[in-house]
Amino acid sequence: MRRGRSTAIALAAFLQLGLAGQALAVQPSEVLDDPALEARARTLSSGLRCMVCQNQSIDESDAELARDLRVLVRERLLAGETDSQVMDYVVSRYGEFVLLQPRFTIRNALLWSTPIVLLLIGGGFLVARASARKPATPVALTPDEERRLSDVLKDVDRR
């Protein structure tokens, strides 16, 4: 019985520590009365980057700018905008960097594929250059060069 109780206490402590890292910075004054709108606001704000912290969503950040963005998202939702309209508005104000998961666009595809394309071009250039080289063909020595070579080799043998 005693062992089961200590295990339960240890499990409860472990769960509390595990949940402590996921604390949200949303203040009670920011929470919307409508649970459906609040759920939408949480979903949207979990996908927006805190411009101060940069590795946290605005939902997790205590920065003043993150708070302002959380309030802005909730104001836009209260105004009747759709989720995509809210996100488009935030992106138009702060740029695509505000998104934790950037949208797939041609510009982003080019940005991410450029290093691979450059490596392929460079590799192709090296392969083409290596295959274009012809092995050196041996050239026959003139009789004068053969005589001088033979003299040099004789001098080396004598030493």
Per residue in 29-41, pLDDT tens?
677 778 898 899 9
Range 101-117 average pLDDT: 87
29-40: b or e for each residue (b if 16 or more CB lie within 10 Å)? eeebeeeeebeb
What does CATH list as the number for 2-98? Answer: 1.10.8.640
Cα distances (Å, whole numbers) of residue 49 to 4, 22, 58, 86, 99: 43, 16, 6, 14, 6
| pLDDT bucket at 73, cuts 50 / 70 / 90 | very high
| pLDDT bucket at 104, cuts 50 / 70 / 90 | confident
74 and 32 Cβ atoms separated by less than 8 Å: yes
pTM listed for this prediction: 0.55
Q: What confidence score (pLDDT) does residue 87 get?
A: 93
Positive or negative torsion for Cα 58, 61, 62, 65: negative
Q: What percent of the chain has pLDDT over 70?
A: 82
103 and 96 Cβ atoms separated by less than 8 Å: yes
Judged on CB neighbours under 10 Å (0-12, 13-18, 19+), 100 is middle
| pLDDT bucket at 75, cuts 50 / 70 / 90 | very high
For tokens 């080396």, name the residue: 156
